[in-house]
Chains A and B, each alone.
Chain A
């Protein structure tokens, strides 16, 4: 087992890849064999693909607060006249798609959470053709992300109610950044730097869901998580290092989460949730707050 990002760097040196370290660790802790473990992950990948496709085709949430933005992005992307290049914008479109499906109570794969499920699937589907990733390489992408995610989850946490949105979209974005680096041929150390850069940029992000729904601002926060993952990955691949080491950044995220007031930890009592519009929407959807 590995307990820190430094452990991942050191232990993965004994394996062909970080993904192989993750699989070997899973075999040891679960008692399942390699084929079974890869097959479960391949099933998760299939769910991710379906959720991207469903969202891009256009969906509407149970409340009607969100939906249709992935389709808008898809049409905008098709028109070929955007500020961002197609890779980043495709990742953003995909990430929005998955979270729109999530908001309509559709089937998704939590990575690490449902509210942040768009980031990992969104980035993977955006780069897999460009990086010529076959099915096995895509499954490896998820194992790599899972390895870094496990360390973040155990050292800091992944629940918005514990640590705010930094723990959800922040963790998802860091996991995706690491997996992108490795998929592009970078080292485990570069992946670790991408994790540090991402989490450092997400520190303090609050969880302030309007009406307590996983819709506003969650869907658009996934767009940010996906784009930041690509930015961090390219920065790390360019040789940029985080001044604060990855494990210290994760500890900082944990401490920021502990110090974060409860109103910013998934209670819908602060931030966007308590704006006049946020409160009006809450009343509109659930009636008076007192009942």
Chain B
């Protein structure tokens, strides 16, 4: 599999099945929201969404705002509740703000999502590259390249010694090769995340990872 290819599956082109009107600005936005929520690992109290270039100019017409929030609430691009997402977020007590920005960024469909719960804050940058396909380019200021279509594990855990070794040993015991790995944390001893891309589809590793001490959440997607 060639990592340089932006589109790898026939279903990147024929699909997704989704609620209109835009694959990049609605379906892609919902997927960004959902992945960001998975990375954060818990329901945020406050979400600030910064929109750039085409996202900033056309987000209302394309429903980008409702799709991002729908994704943050865990909805898929085909979820008929998407159109009510702002209301649903309000009912759940999540404060949401949208800030269109005029700064130049690398890709025209870019959103920076800043999630807050208590004293914990995380900032994630997602881009929608067309046809509902997305990439995650930055977490808490760390440049990463997380593209969908690759088996990916995201852990949220306490930053204590030995976590990385315990996680990677589960991969090695199951004979699963790790393709890429990113580790970052809020501050020493606080919440940390690991993003692991593997060569094979192994959602069955999730329960084993979740069972580790100090592990708070593990998500898997491909």
Contact = CB atoms under 8 A, between A and B. Distances in A.
A139 to B, nearest CB: 10
Contact of A114 (B8, B14, B22, B61): B22
A31 interface: yes
A31 B108 contact: no
Contacts of A269: 57
Nearest to A31: B201
A262 B109 CA distance: 12
Contact of A1 (B1, B23, B63, B82): B1
A108 interface: yes
Contacts of B2: 1, 3
Given A161-B109, A262-B53, 12 more contacts: A23-B10, A41-B11, A44-B17, A107-B19, A109-B17, A110-B17, A115-B23, A160-B54, A160-B130, A211-B61, A214-B25, A266-B24
A232 B129 CA distance: 28
A110 B53 contact: no
Contacts of B1: 1, 29
B63 to A, nearest CB: 7
A44 B14 contact: yes
Contacts of A41: 10-11, 14
Interface in A210-256: 211-215
Contact of B130 (A23, A158, A209): A158
A158 B11 CA distance: 14
Nearest to A175: B13
Contacts of B7: 150, 153-154, 158
A132 interface: no
Chain A CB within 10 Å, residue with most, of B1, B62, B107: B62
B132 interface: yes
A87 interface: no
Nearest to A28: B1
A153 B128 CA distance: 13
Contact of B20 (A1, A104, A265, A267): A104
A83 interface: no
A23 B27 CA distance: 24
A92 interface: no
Contacts of B16: 109-110
Contacts of A113: 22-24, 130-132
Interface residues of B, number: 48
Interface in B107-161: 107-109, 128-132
B8 A267 contact: no
A161 B54 contact: yes
A191 interface: no
A167 interface: yes
Interface string B11-50: 1111111111111111100000000000000000000000
Interface string B52-74: 01100111111100000000000
12 contacts: A30-B201, A107-B17, A110-B23, A114-B22, A114-B27, A115-B21, A149-B13, A160-B54, A161-B130, A214-B21, A265-B54, A286-B61
A201 B16 CA distance: 27
Contacts of B54: 160-161, 265-267
Contacts of A31: 200-201
A196 interface: no
A22 B5 contact: no
A73 interface: no
Chain A CB within 10 Å, residue with most, of B5, B9, B16: B9
Given A150-B10, A150-B13, A209 B200 contact: no
A142 interface: yes
B14 A159 contact: no
Nearest to A104: B20
Given A31-B200, A44-B15, A106 B20 contact: yes
Contacts of A9: none
Contacts of A117: 20, 23
A103 interface: yes
A135 interface: no
A114 B23 contact: yes
B83 interface: yes
A110 B78 CA distance: 11
A109 B128 CA distance: 17
A286 B14 contact: no
Contacts of A211: 61
Please list the 5 inter-chain residue pairs (A to B) with the smallest Cβ-Cβ separation, ordered nearest first.
A159-B130, A212-B58, A212-B61, A102-B20, A214-B21
